[in-house]
Homo-oligomer: A and B are copies of this chain.
């Protein structure tokens, strides 16, 4: 199992990394103590209680619930007021009705608290006229006490890198009880849904997320602030953005340009149409702009753009993998290996549609390949081997030949990977099952996958795997656990490869 924390020499953040430690976001992501306003003991009927339950789960610092009536909240001693606390917490987490928030923030200020997350909604996005007044009040209080805060109208933060070098500890203020596998993807989102609810799919697809920040109305800390932090953060390799508006346009463009030259950014801009603008207005209160302007900004700054959440997750995974192993294709020539003609044709067409080339192999290479593929099969690219008995030749020898040829920059490899069903079916039917086949899941990685992956990383020729089965299949998990990109079906692999090829080309301008 690939464990970023163990493998990485940059982590945990070194004590002398003062630039990061002194950034005002650092204590929001890595607080040693939190006081929580708006949680009680009923874990289902209030969001604050669910959020406190989640904070408890991964956090190893001190937790101080503040509650007017309760003596104890979720096993922690409760205090009537923040002013009663024995020490000054690093972070205040506030989820209370909006009209109480100014008073609470004022008390936090008096106590000396310098960082806050305000989850409460009902500010400028509200249908009610006092939303803006309330916003101005909290601005003023924060300014007076020098408080930096995330929100309001947000879910807060997930920091998988919090506190230790295992997944055991993390900081999560979201409400769904689900944590993705740890990696160096950081998500910055003007939607709590995109920040938090993508975790289920992320876990399923092997999208390894280290940080996810729901920034809400950005009243104090905005997207530019967080980008600044991520730029220098050694635990951020790739950034995912969900944007409904950009407030500091110039700063955003300057910073995004700097970042994309070293760390890829994938962005969703959700506005740009009349109905979407209405939806955004009632969501974060932002006034969304023409999508052409945002498309222009994305293009100018090298941000990879999509409107689809599944593509967003796949692109993040793609870039995270490329960053981890420094695997960026040097051109757009794709080799396709498969045992099925239809998937070969579909992948070829998708490559074409996304600007990749699937060049016909040279006569020399085709001749070499013909030693390993059946008489009736095709070796011209795509290579459709139709049926194979020799696993080593299919999985290792053929891709090696192609990588050595210098005729492609990357490879798409399609197959039916998991034989569990075949084996079960045969056993059920009473026929004997070859021990070698029974052991296939065990020998698959050391015998086939490992040698070709090692070779690929040596040659710097990225190879993506795909097939018709599901991520829930044991052999698919083998790929994902070992941090090797595999895809369900044949649509996403060529698309992701195309994004990688384009970004690789873009980045060479800066090297």
**Which A residues are closer than 8 A to B by beta carbons?**
41, 43-45, 47, 50, 53, 56-57, 74, 98, 121-122, 125-128, 176-178, 189-194, 197-201, 204, 242, 244, 268, 270-276, 278-280, 282-284, 307-311, 336, 340-346, 348-353, 357-360, 375-376, 378, 380-382, 384, 386-387, 389, 416, 421-422, 424-426, 429, 431, 434, 437, 468-470, 472, 488-491
Contact = CB atoms under 8 A, between A and B. Distances in A.
A376 B126 contact: yes
Contact of A431 (B74, B121, B198, B489): B74
A279 B341 contact: yes
A180 to B, nearest CB: 12
Given A74-B431, A275-B351, 17 more contacts: A41-B431, A125-B378, A126-B376, A127-B378, A192-B342, A194-B342, A198-B489, A199-B468, A204-B470, A242-B342, A270-B345, A272-B349, A275-B357, A278-B358, A282-B384, A283-B378, A309-B491
A120 to B, nearest CB: 9
B191 A341 contact: yes
B270 A346 contact: yes
A358 B491 contact: no
Nearest to A489: B309
Nearest to A204: B470
Given A342-B191, A416-B197, A426-B43, A278 B309 contact: no
Contacts of A193: 340-343, 468
Nearest to A176: B416
Contacts of A336: 279
A421 B270 contact: no
A472 to B, nearest CB: 6
Contacts of A199: 468
A268 B489 CA distance: 14
A358 B416 CA distance: 42
Given A201-B470, A378-B127, A345 B425 contact: no
A194 B125 CA distance: 47
B200 A468 contact: yes
A467 to B, nearest CB: 8
A420 to B, nearest CB: 10
Contact of A276 (B128, B352, B387, B472): B352
Contact of A358 (B189, B275, B341): B275
A376 B122 contact: yes
Nearest to A308: B491
